[in-house]
Structure 1
Amino acid sequence: MSNVVLLSTRRLPPTYFDQVREDLGDQNLTIDVVGWVAPSAWVADKVNTFTLIGPGRMPAAPAPEEPVVVAEKPAVVAEPAPKPQPAAPQPTPPAKPKPTGAKRVVKAVEWRARKARKVAGRMLPPAIKSSAPVKFLRGQRATSDLGKNYWERVLSRRDVLTTIDQADVVIALDAGAIWAGWNLGQRKASTPVVLGLPAARRELDMMKAPVGNG
């Protein structure tokens, strides 16, 4: 039975781990996950361990189902409906006083600040804001920051490093986990560290292949 460690910075559903076993060709595969984001639902029945190293908390276990008890309906006795009472008139709220003195100056400054932000936002055309190059650069920067934070957190957790040391294959699942995967590959060359499930399948198949006599 093989043991793999999944490095992930995405939110994974429980059904994803069924797909992992299918793609790797081993229904008895032992899966340990090092996640930056908690899974979308309870996964204790899907993986060996799921270690959350990012913000948030793990989902709670589903509550056990309780038997449904059907209560008998009581007899209905017809009673005349009460007459509606007229609603009491609502008092008119007092008029809001206009700001005077120092308050009036503060309101004026806030209004000018809001107007300045709107003008600054209009200075960059919407077409540039939403253009593919700008979106790509923003995404690259965010991914780079996430990758560094993820790797630093992995290094700071002795339990995570122990789990990784016991793996047959370490799999970086997404762009945010690539930097951690690369560094782990440099630290321990004896354990394959790959990107994606297809590459992991090749490594596991080679491990299971009989060794020739040469």
Structure 2
Amino acid sequence: MSNVVLLSTRRLPPTYFDQVREDLGDQNITIDVVGWVAPSAWVADKVNTFTLIGPGRMPAEPAPEPEPAESTDEAPDAVIAPEAVADPEAVVADEAKIAPAAAEVAAAGAAAASTPAAAAKPRPTGAKRVVKAVEWRARKARKVAGRMLPKAIKTSAPVKFLSGNRANKDLGKTYWERVLSRRDVLTTIDQADVVIALDAGAIWAGWNLGQRKAGTPVVLGLPAARRELDMMKAPTT
């Protein structure tokens, strides 16, 4: 049975490890993960170990679902208490109280409807209208320029490439330094048949491990790992 170590700086869902086994062509493969970010949910049933070397904490184990309680008792028939039934005389008295109040509300509404509405503010005309229009267009232009131009610059392809490349480079160095500082992580890597860097943030660590461990394949991505595992399983001539 082969043992692979996954180097990752991204948040991985539990279902991802099922995909790893499928892509590598071995459902019995042992998976150890060295992650900068904790997985999105409980993965103890999916991998051999998951070592978190970045910020945060591992997800808690989900609580078992309670078994539904079986009940054989039938619900008793509904019983209406005598005091819950309204007395006909009380209903008549309540209706007599409601009628005057409704009449008062109707009279108030009629009075409000007869009150003349406030006169609308006159719209500017002539030169004042031209000045107001120019001021409104100037305010709108300033808002559009202040809102759209920075966003267009930030989302342009060159800026996104440079910022993403710089972020991956900084994360890659930090990730590699943390790997070197953890004896348990180095021990796990020493026991691997193949080490797989899954993303751009883990490439730097993978390259350095490849220089230090000449006898262990260190590859980028699952397709390259599949080729290495297939060559290991191929009979030698």
TM bucket (normalised to shorter chain) is 0.7 to 0.9
Distance of aligned partners of 1:199 and 1:80 in 2 relative to their CA distance in 1, 3 Å threshold = farther
Larger deviation: 122-131 or 200-209?
Answer: 122-131
Q: TM-score, normalised by structure 1?
A: 0.75
In 1, the alpha carbon distance for the partners of 2:209 and 2:151 equals 42
Distance of aligned partners of 1:77 and 1:206 in 2 relative to their CA distance in 1, 3 Å threshold = same
More helix by share: 2
In 1, the alpha carbon distance for the partners of 2:181 and 2:190 equals 15
Q: TM-score, normalised by structure 2?
A: 0.68
Give the C-alpha shift of residue 80 in structure 1.
7.2
SS in 2 for 1:4: strand
The total of aligned residue pairs comes to 176
Distance of aligned partners of 1:69 and 1:200 in 2 relative to their CA distance in 1, 3 Å threshold = same
Q: Deviations over 1:33-61 (max 9, x none)?
A: 00001111111111000001111111111
State yes or no: 1:204 paired with 2:213: no
Q: Which runs of 5+ in 1 are unaligned?
A: 82-118
Q: Deviations over 1:98-149 (max 9, x none)?
A: xxxxxxxxxxxxxxxxxxxxx9x94964322221111111111111111111
Percent identity between the two aligned chains: 84
Distance of aligned partners of 1:76 and 1:178 in 2 relative to their CA distance in 1, 3 Å threshold = farther
Q: Which of the numbers 174, 182, 185 marks the counterpart of 1:160?
A: 185
In 2, the alpha carbon distance for the partners of 1:19 and 1:198 equals 12
Q: Which runs of 5+ in 2 are unaligned?
A: 87-142
Task: State the partner residue of 1:53.
Answer: 53
In 1, the alpha carbon distance for the partners of 2:38 and 2:150 equals 37
Task: State the partner residue of 1:12.
Answer: 12
Q: Which 4+ residue blocks in structure 1 deviate beyond 6 angstroms?
A: none
Q: How does 1:11-50 map to 2 (within 5 A)?
A: 11-50=11-50
Q: Which amino acid aligns with 1:39?
A: P
Q: Deviations over 1:47-83 (max 9, x none)?
A: 00000111111111111121122676675656479xx
SS in 2 for 1:43: coil
SS in 1 for 2:162: helix
Task: State the partner residue of 1:132.
Answer: 157
Task: State the partner residue of 1:193.
Answer: 218
In 2, the alpha carbon distance for the partners of 1:157 and 1:51 equals 10
Q: Which amino acid aligns with 1:140?
A: N
In 1, the alpha carbon distance for the partners of 2:5 and 2:79 equals 63
State yes or no: 1:169 paired with 2:191: no
Q: Which of the numbers 194, 206, 211 marks the counterpart of 1:181?
A: 206
- Cα RMSD (Å) of the superposition? 2.4
Distance of aligned partners of 1:164 and 1:64 in 2 relative to their CA distance in 1, 3 Å threshold = same
